[in-house]
Chain A
Amino acid sequence: EAQVTQNPRYLITVTGKKLTVTCSQNMNHEYMSWYRQDPGLGLRQIYYSMNVEVTDKGDVPEGYKVSRKEKRNFPLILESPSPNQTSLYFCASSFFGTSDEQYFGPGTRLTVT
């Protein structure tokens, strides 16, 4: 089954404790992206990647890191999480970038206390 998977689905952590949210797709997509969704603010792009070893900042990259060492994986790293990073996070992928539809993962609900 073609899909984007994310893990964990739910995470409660404390300020400053490094965490990684994994994202994997099995559709051989070139483009992968991370979003956060907050009430009243909608989906905002954090980072995106056009291909292996190619990553770029979105609109809200502060406090996040990403890497794209393999085509299928695009982990999101929070080196020192803060309460303002409490949010619902989505990973998404598409074949060729912004001219194609994106397929979204199931989401990761992160709470930072």
Chain B
Amino acid sequence: QKEVEQNSGPLSVPEGAIASLNCTYSDRGSQSFFWYRQYSGKSPELIMSIYSNGDKEDGRFTAQLNKASQYVSLLIRDSQPSDSATYLCAVNKNTGNQFYFGTGTSLTVIP
């Protein structure tokens, strides 16, 4: 079982729609959760971090965390073509100081 799992996609949504990205993790003790965006050939850049159950909103982005179900999601409202990228979910390991990344979900926003 992988530490962090994401649907690889591709996920396609029309411009202006809501894109929903999901991630599940296996380490029940994980405390820190991150969403990164990675454009092709570029390095990952942070979109959101979330540490507590519930929702966290930042502009068009909302991260949702449910520790009981061990999933974290990212909603992108009013999707724009510039949101087309691969979205990586990252989770810290409960013991030690390691990060685990999912393989990423490829998102395409169609104009």
Q: Is B34's beta carbon under 8 Å from chain A?
A: yes
Segment touching B, from A20-28, A68-76, A78-86, A104-112:
A104-112
Shortest B59–chain A CB gap in Å is: 16
Max chain B C-beta neighbours (<10 A), residue from A40, A98, A100: A98
B99 and A107 form a contact (CB under 8 A): no
Bin the interface of chain B by size: 20 to 34
B97 and A104 form a contact (CB under 8 A): no
Segment touching A, from B12-20, B66-74, B76-84, B100-108:
B100-108
Given contacts A48-B97, A56-B97, contact A43 B88 (CB under 8 A): yes
Bin the interface of chain A by size: 20 to 34
Tell me the chain B residues, 48-100 only, with Cβ under 8 Å from chain A.
49, 51, 88, 90, 92-93, 96-100
A101 and B43 form a contact (CB under 8 A): no
- For B30, the closest partner residue in chain A by CB is A98
In whole angstroms, how far apart are the Cα atoms of A107 and B51 in the complex?
28
In whole angstroms, how far apart are the Cα atoms of A43 and B31 in the complex?
19
Tell me which of B46, B88, B92 contacts A98 (CB under 8 A).
Answer: B92
A42 and B92 form a contact (CB under 8 A): no
In whole angstroms, how far apart are the Cα atoms of A66 and B42 in the complex?
24
Q: Which 5 pairs from chain A and chain B are nearest by CB? A: A98-B92, A42-B103, A43-B101, A104-B43, A101-B46
Q: A42-B102, A102-B34 are in contact. List 16 more A-B contacts (CB 8 A).
A: A40-B103, A43-B44, A43-B90, A45-B98, A45-B100, A48-B97, A56-B97, A59-B98, A59-B100, A98-B92, A98-B98, A99-B51, A104-B44, A105-B43, A107-B42, A107-B43
